[in-house]
Every structure is written in structure tokens, then in C-alpha cells.
Amino acid sequence: MNFQDHFELSQLYASYASALSAGEWDAWPEFFTEDCSYRLQPRENFERGFPLATLSFESKGMLKDRVYGIRETLFHDPYYQRHVVGAPLVRKAQADRFECEANYAVFRTKLSELSSVFNVGRYIDVVVRTEAGLRFSSRQVIYDSEMIPNSIIYPI
């Protein structure tokens, strides 16, 4: 893997975390290919090969629908999220395709409350080169805890 590819991968991960932390929901689908896969799944289900996922989207269009839901139909107490993502570990590199993993932690801050750890886990990704640059073709968000607060509204 050359330096330029590594730099672009690092920028993809950092830009993703920055956009979500800033609540730039319309930017979220743009990190993915048209025929992408995004799954949020508890670690136990993932490790045991169980298909049940908390969220599962199979296209960029489905991600855009989720953004519409966040903006127009979901009602909840407002809160901020802050994403902290480790450097991507490249498991396999090909010319225009990378299989990567990265640890993450998401902190949540509700108005007039202390910040708390919201969700912790790892991303298991397939990243591909497109005309627009590197994009996720598959992102599995594997969270460590079986317990999640009420619901997951925003992307992880």
C-alpha cells in the first residue's frame, strides 16, 4: 500500500467521523457507493454468525431514506454525538479495493447533562476507489455492548 492510498483512507475515516459529529446528515450517504451495505449489529450476533442487526441498509437510497427520517419523522430529545475513530487497519489491499477495520467510540451529550459513552465497537469495511474518490461499499458497525440506550437515531 502506498502513502497516497493510506492518506486517502485516513481522510475518509476522519471526514466520516467529522460529518457525523457535526450533524451533517445529508453528507452521510455520500461516503458510500450506490449499491452499498451498512449494518449495525451487536458483537455477539456478529461473532456467532447470526444475521439479526439493529439497522441494515442495502443501498445509498436507503441511507437517504434514513436521513429523511432523522430530519422529518423521528422525534426525540435532542443530543449531540462525538465520534472518535482509530486509524484504519488495512487487512487487505488491492488496486482499487481495501478491507479495513477501525475501532470507534461515540459519546453522547444531551442538553444540560454530562457527556456519556453512547456506543463503542469497531467498523469492518470494504472501501473502493470511485471517480469521486474512496467510498465505503460495505460498512459493518459491530458494537460491543448488548445494551443500547433506548434507540439509535443517528448513524454511528
Taking only the tens place, the pLDDT of each residue in 40-86 is 999 999 999 999 999 999 999 999 999 999 888 867 778 889 999 99
Work out the mean pLDDT of the chain and round it to a whole number.
94
Sequence-ordered list of residues with C-beta below 8 angstroms from that of 2, at least 6 positions apart, any chain = none
Q: How far is CA 149 from CA 16, 108, 132, 146, in A?
A: 23, 10, 36, 10
C-alpha 121/C-alpha 69 separation (Å) is 24
Q: Give the per-residue pLDDT at 75.
A: 72
The confidence band for 148, taking pLDDT boundaries of 50, 70 and 90, is confident
Residues 3-30 have a mean pLDDT of 97
Amino acid at 137: S
Helix (H) or strand (E) holding 108: strand 97-110
DSSP-derived 3-state class of residue 151: coil
The confidence band for 116, taking pLDDT boundaries of 50, 70 and 90, is very high
Q: Give the per-residue pLDDT at 133.
A: 97
Residues 106-130 have a mean pLDDT of 95
Q: What's the burial of 114, exposed, middle or buried (CB within 10 Å: 0-12/13-18/19+)? A: exposed
pTM of the model: 0.94
- 69 or 36, higher pLDDT: 36
Q: How far is CA 109 from the centre of its chain?
A: 19
Q: Give the per-residue pLDDT at 145.
A: 85
C-alpha 61/C-alpha 56 separation (Å) is 12
Residue 117 pLDDT > 90? yes
